[in-house]
Amino acid sequence: MKSTVHTVTAVGAAALSLESVSRRYGGRGSAALDAVSCVVPAGSFTAVVGPSGSGKSTFLQCAAGLDRPTSGTVRIGGTDLGALSEAALTRLRRDRVGFVFQSHALNLVPSLSIEENVVLPLVLAGADPASDDVLDRGRELLTRVGLAGRGPDGPSTLSGGQQQRVAVARALVTEPDVVFADEPTASLDPGSAALVLALLRDAVRIDGRTVVMVTHDPSAADWADTVLTMDGGRLR
């Protein structure tokens, strides 16, 4: 089926693009994504909304390189994800993509301190966790998300909203091409949700990061520059 290309209001070069991306499960089963095409420029905040089962979570998984589409092309910063080996795809996700998940259990490692959680992507990339650059970067981001001085504490000492703010800090630590946020405010009270959304908004406004957020919450989507609506595996 011919797809319609959805283009977010132009801000910069494309940070993310999908071209006729489909994802089917179970062989000839119904398509969770059906010939989806869109271009997301750098420095923009895009929300993807839709009812349960509309395909928005599959959209995020394929766009972020967490799942491979059945057909079509996904590019992050001009890199074709389909051309990468599993090892290269893992490196791209580590170095050029940030993630904020709905589940606190997925966001933070309980055995690490808050500061160690923030700088984990840098350490996994080979940085010395005791270096001044890494320590300064972690403290800078904790200050930015309103948690200065909490670095040595464990994640269990934080509220759910505070844990999500740490997750935002970690998602930004590598200065990624794209930050993907999957229902980041679903389990938060309105005040905590607003703090998390403001941090994502500032990442775009101040740092020029690109944010793609999946959400079922219209009030969360209001923080975005552009809202894409999914229905039946297609963008409307």
Average pLDDT over residues 169-173: 96
Residue 26 has a pLDDT of: 80
Quick: pLDDT tens for 49-88: 999 999 999 999 999 999 999 999 999 999 999 999 999 9
CA distance 179 to 168: 9
Residue 183 has a pLDDT of: 95
Residues whose CB is less than 8 angstroms from the CB of residue 13 and which lie 6 or more positions away in sequence, other chains included: 41, 42
Fold of 5-235: Rossmann fold (3.40.50)
Residue-wise over 5-15: b if at least 16 C-beta within 10 A, else e?
ebebeebeebb
Residue 4 has pLDDT above 60, yes or no: no
Residue 1 has a pLDDT of: 40
Kindly state the percentage of the chain with pLDDT values over 70.
92
Residue 9 has a pLDDT of: 43
Residue 17 has pLDDT above 50, yes or no: yes
Average pLDDT over residues 8-36: 82
Query: How many beta carbons lie within 10 A of that of residue 187, not counting itself?
Result: 14
Sheet of strand 79-80: strand arrangement:
5-7, 31-41, 14-24, 71-76, 79-80
CA distance 34 to 3: 8
Query: How many beta carbons lie within 10 A of that of residue 198, not counting itself?
Result: 15
Residue 3 has pLDDT above 60, yes or no: no
Handedness of CA 132, 135, 141, 144 (dihedral sign): negative
Residue 11 has pLDDT above 60, yes or no: no
Contact (Cβ atoms closer than 8 angstroms) between residue 74 and residue 65: yes
Contact (Cβ atoms closer than 8 angstroms) between residue 3 and residue 20: yes
Residue 104 has a pLDDT of: 66
Residues whose CB is less than 8 angstroms from the CB of residue 86 and which lie 6 or more positions away in sequence, other chains included: none
Mean pLDDT of the chain: 92
Residue 187 has a pLDDT of: 87
CA distance 21 to 35: 5
Domain boundaries defined on the chain: 5-235
Look at 95-104, 154-163, 186-195 and tell me which has the smallest mean pLDDT. 95-104
CA distance 217 to 47: 10
- The more confidently predicted of residues 106 and 9 is 106
Token digits for 123?
A: 């350490």
Residue-wise over 206-219: b if at least 16 C-beta within 10 A, else e?
eeebbbbbbbebee
Contact (Cβ atoms closer than 8 angstroms) between residue 171 and residue 94: no
Q: For 125, which DSSP code? A: T
